[in-house]
Structure formats: structure tokens, C-alpha cells
Homo-oligomer: A and B are copies of this chain.
Amino acid sequence: MLGARALRWGLPARRAPNGARPQPARIPLCGRRLGSLVGHSLWAAGLQPQRDKFGGVTVHLAQLHAPDSLDQVTFQRWLQESVKQWRAEGRIAVWLHIPILQSKFIATAALQGFTFHHAESDSSTLTLWLGEGHSRLPGYATHQLGVAGAALDVDTGKVLVVQDKNKTTNAWKFPGGLSDPGEDIGNTAVREVFEETGIKSEFKSLLSIRQQHRHPGAFGLSDMYIICRLQPSSFNISFCQQECLRCEWMDLEELAKTKDTTPITSSVAKLLLYGYREGFDKIDITMREFPAVYTGLFYKLYHKELPDTYKNMTEF
């Protein structure tokens, strides 16, 4: 049944009752009968491959004491012998972390079958699958996240809309943009609305989620696009001339009826109109916050509002 399913790699075990985090075992190479001069020299040079509980081995080239003195041939011989040994041990994968200035070793590893898992900033990570069948290593992030804000002035029934400067069709849409790394959905909406239009607002709920694959603006990966309902707290528009052609408070019913918009904006305008007339509880996907098990941070959960009688069935 496991089939093509990715393993949940790198997820640490839950904390022990005393709060301690289990540490991965660090087993030095030389204690594993590598036995060759190459192995010993790399060990002496600082490399300490680590076995993990998922059957993998991790090598950090940042551990090298003097990377410039390690030549590619020596590294190539060491990697070849090591992979042979790990395979014999029954290890199913190798993770190889390479600082950007040591990138000469990437091609060496590639010649032995390693491929990029991911890279960011000043480091890359390569992997080699040693197990049976196709690799079941978990992939890297697959989605970028864009968030827009529908700021509705409930006193006037007008909603804040913009037209992008760089588009040939003048379609009205809600202001928005890409989330910064680590930024909460609602914060992106509020920030983007302010940056594009000068309007201050408060997050109220999620209204819609769109998933689109092979997105040209996401380097061919998937795009998640979320529209939030916002409550504006300022009303004087001062829009970003670099990004927007026009920006205005538009009557919500007009936006719901116009053809000068995108299908998503039109759908969400109708949804918002429905909520405005018949109660936002009909449309809101509201937010609750919970403490995260692993990180000590909080995470946010969004779903339809739950009546108190249900909420209080158990306490967490």
C-alpha cells in the first residue's frame, strides 16, 4: 500500500514526557569498518555522516575543516566507497548538504547518481535513493501562496478594487500578492492591501481558496491563491502607481455583475454580496489558533464557525 507514498522524513519524534528532544545518533565513519585510507582521510578532515531512524544517512560538507584542500578525486573515491557501504548496511537514502562555495563537489556527486533535492541562499541539498523501487523521499515545497484582500465597507456596501498596470485587459480585482516566507495568510492580505492601496484593514475570514498547477509565475510549480474578507479601518485611497492603473471603492453589487473582472473575483464578489445581505456567517471560513506540538509556535486553523455546544464537547 505504501506505493508511491513519500516517507515523512525529518519529522522529529514527539518530545519525551520530560520535554527533551530525541537526538539523531551520530555514528563516526571510522567506527563502521570503512577501513580505507580514503575513508580515514575524510573522517580526519571532519566529515561525520549521521544515520537517522528513517534509514537514511546525512553528510554535511560544511563539516570539512579545510574544504579547499579536498580534491574532487579523493571526494569521489570516498563517496563511492561510502555509498557502497551504506547500501550494504541496508540504508535507503543519502542526504548530501553542500555549501555554495564547495559546489565543485555537486557534479562529482551527480556522476554517482545524486540529484538536487533543493537549494536556497548559500546551500544545496542532494539526495540519492538506495531503497527499492522509486524514491519515496519527501519532496520539497510545491506551492507558492498568493493572498488577496476583499475589504468591504459595510456602511456603504463598497469594496476596494484595483486594476493591474501590467495587464492588457482592464479587469477589476482585489489587491493582493505573494506571501513572504513565514507570513500568516491574514497578514499577507492586510499588508498587500496597504502596500497597493494605502488602506488599513483587519483580517476577518477566508472566503475562497484556489489551487492551480504548472503556474508560470510559480516557476512551473503550483499556486495557492486565497481571498480574505477584510474590515477596512481607513478609507482614503493612495494607490501604488507602479503596480496599479486604477483603484477605487466600487459598489459590491456592481462588481458582482460586471464582466470587467476575472472569474474568481466575480465569484467572490457574489459570495461577499450574499454574506453582506444575509449574514457573513454564511460565507466566512473563520480562524482559530492552536499551539504547535513540534515548534512551540502557534498555528492557525480555518474552518466554518462551530456552534459553542459543539466546541465545548471536549477541551484542548
Contacts and interface: CB of A to CB of B under 8 A. Distances in A.
Given A267-B288, A271-B304, A118 B119 contact: yes
Interface string A139-170: 11111110000000000000000000011110
Nearest to A146: B8
B181 A5 contact: no
Contacts of A302: 208-211
B141 A142 contact: yes
A104 to B, nearest CB: 5
Interface residues of A, number: 118
A254 to B, nearest CB: 11
B124 A119 contact: yes
A217 B9 contact: yes
Nearest to A185: B211
A146 B125 CA distance: 22
A8 B240 CA distance: 15
Contact of A107 (B102, B168, B192, B256): B102
B271 A306 contact: yes
Contacts of A166: 8, 13
Contact of A10 (B107, B219, B259, B263): B219
Contacts of A125: 219
Contact of A140 (B111, B141, B180): B141
A121 B126 CA distance: 9
B267 A198 contact: no
Interface stretch (A36-44, A77-85, A289-297): A289-297
Contacts of A221: 140-141, 181
Given A101-B111, A271-B303, 20 more contacts: A1-B242, A5-B195, A14-B167, A100-B107, A103-B110, A115-B122, A124-B124, A138-B217, A139-B144, A140-B219, A141-B219, A142-B145, A143-B144, A143-B145, A206-B209, A209-B303, A210-B300, A213-B295, A216-B294, A267-B288
Interface of A: 1-6, 8-14, 16, 100-104, 106-107, 110-111, 115-125, 138-145, 166-169, 177-182, 184-185, 192, 195-196, 198, 206-219, 221-222, 224, 238-240, 242-243, 256-259, 262-264, 266-268, 270-271, 273-274, 282-285, 288, 290, 292-295, 297, 299-304, 306-307, 310-311, 313-314, 316
